[in-house]
């Protein structure tokens, strides 16, 4: 006779072996299907649809970048290391507007998320822009910090930006970076005041940041996420500024 304890343990083990269903979105983010992970290979992921419990294979190139990031983090291919679903990047303790260059440098030296790419003795000649880079890739590429100071030499703006990449890297690197930062910034600052569903590179002007998301920072200031163009290449950037967010309300619909 099997004891109730053993039955309970077997039941718990069965529950633990079943993956929790999740929503899997199409590459354009317009469609989704709910199901649990079954298996994956280099070309596709197989899920068990919640609607009818049928196994369905989804090609990886038809998968939303955020879902692909989750897949690589939780179910990497054999022989490859897991890719973190989110970097351990925390902006809140790092960014304090009004601090001096020396104060910012002291924080960067002890920050575990960034590393210097040149010797500290050379920073007096080069400045801090582009010197500190993320230790972990953000959904694909690395990113570096750039600073803007007011007339008194105090911090007024910080920009985290990736290295420029060709438009052909949109799906493999730019989109995963963009979606990862959306999740990361929303976790820290709550739902954005402005949020666009898609990242469109076509209308971006040379040398300017085309924002897709805006967050209100805790206390004061704004975080603005988007993409910028550098010649024939593009980069993902987050600009943290002392400026307050300016959100233009949608025009009122005419009365029927």
Domains of the chain, each with CATH number or no CATH: 4-70 (2.30.30.700), 101-241 (no CATH)
**Residue 145 and residue 123: Cα distance in Å, rounded?**
14
Query: pTM, whole model, 2 decimals?
Result: 0.63
What is the per-residue pLDDT across 60-92, written as a single tens digit (0 to 9) for each? 888 887 777 778 777 877 766 554 444 446 666
What is the per-residue pLDDT across 8-67, written as a single tens digit (0 to 9) for each? 333 333 333 446 788 898 877 788 899 999 999 988 999 999 999 999 999 988 888 777
**Residue 138 and residue 145: Cα distance in Å, rounded?**
13
CA of residue 193 relative to chain centroid, distance = 17
């Amino acid at each position: 006779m099997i004891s109730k304890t053993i039955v309970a343990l077997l039941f718990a083990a069965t529950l633990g072996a079943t993956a929790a269903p999740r929503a899997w979105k199409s590459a354009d983010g317009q469609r989704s299907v709910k199901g649990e992970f079954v298996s994956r290979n280099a070309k596709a992921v197989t899920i068990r649809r919640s609607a009818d419990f049928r196994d369905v294979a989804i090609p990886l190139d038809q998968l939303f970048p955020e879902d692909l990031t989750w897949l690589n983090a939780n179910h990497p291919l054999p022989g490859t290391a897991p890719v973190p679903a989110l970097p351990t990047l925390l902006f809140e303790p790092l960014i304090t507007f009004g601090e001096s260059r020396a104060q910012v440098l002291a924080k960067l030296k002890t920050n575990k998320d960034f590393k210097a790419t040149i010797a500290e003795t050379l920073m007096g000649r080069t400045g801090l822009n582009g010197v500190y880079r993320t230790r972990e890739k953000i959904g694909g590429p690395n990113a570096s910090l750039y600073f803007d100071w007011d007339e008194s030499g105090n911090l007024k703006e910080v920009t985290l930006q990736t290295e420029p990449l060709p438009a052909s890297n949109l799906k493999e690197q730019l989109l995963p970076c963009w979606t990862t930062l959306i999740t990361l910034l929303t976790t820290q600052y709550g739902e954005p005041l402005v949020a666009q569903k898609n990242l469109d590179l076509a209308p971006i002007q040379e040398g300017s940041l085309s924002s897709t998301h805006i967050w209100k920072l805790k206390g004061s200031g704004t975080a603005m996420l988007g993409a910028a163009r550098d010649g024939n290449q593009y980069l993902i950037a987050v600009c943290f500024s002392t400026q307050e967010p300016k959100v233009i309300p949608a025009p009122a619909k005419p009365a029927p």
